């Protein structure tokens, strides 16, 4: 159970970082 939770947390963190990176990139392109 702990391994599954840590894997899900890592996946969520990676998705958040990727989403923030793309949002920042699109904002830079808009400006």
- At 1-15, the pLDDT tens digits run 689 999 999 999 999
Under the banding of pLDDT at 50, 70 and 90, the label for residue 28 is confident
pLDDT of the residue at 30: 76
What is d(CA 25, CA 22) in angstroms, rounded to the nearest whole number?
5
Distance CA 31, CA 20 (A): 17
Residue ranges covered by each domain of the chain = 1-31
Average pLDDT over residues 8-31: 92
Measured distance CA(20)–CA(2) in Å, rounded: 27
Q: CB neighbours of 23 closer than 8 A, spacing ≥ 6?
A: none
The pTM of the full predicted model, rounded to 2 decimals, is 0.60
């Amino acid at each position: 159970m702990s391994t599954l939770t840590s894997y899900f947390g890592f996946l969520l963190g990676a998705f958040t970082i990727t989403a923030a990176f793309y949002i920042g990139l699109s904002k830079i392109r808009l400006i």
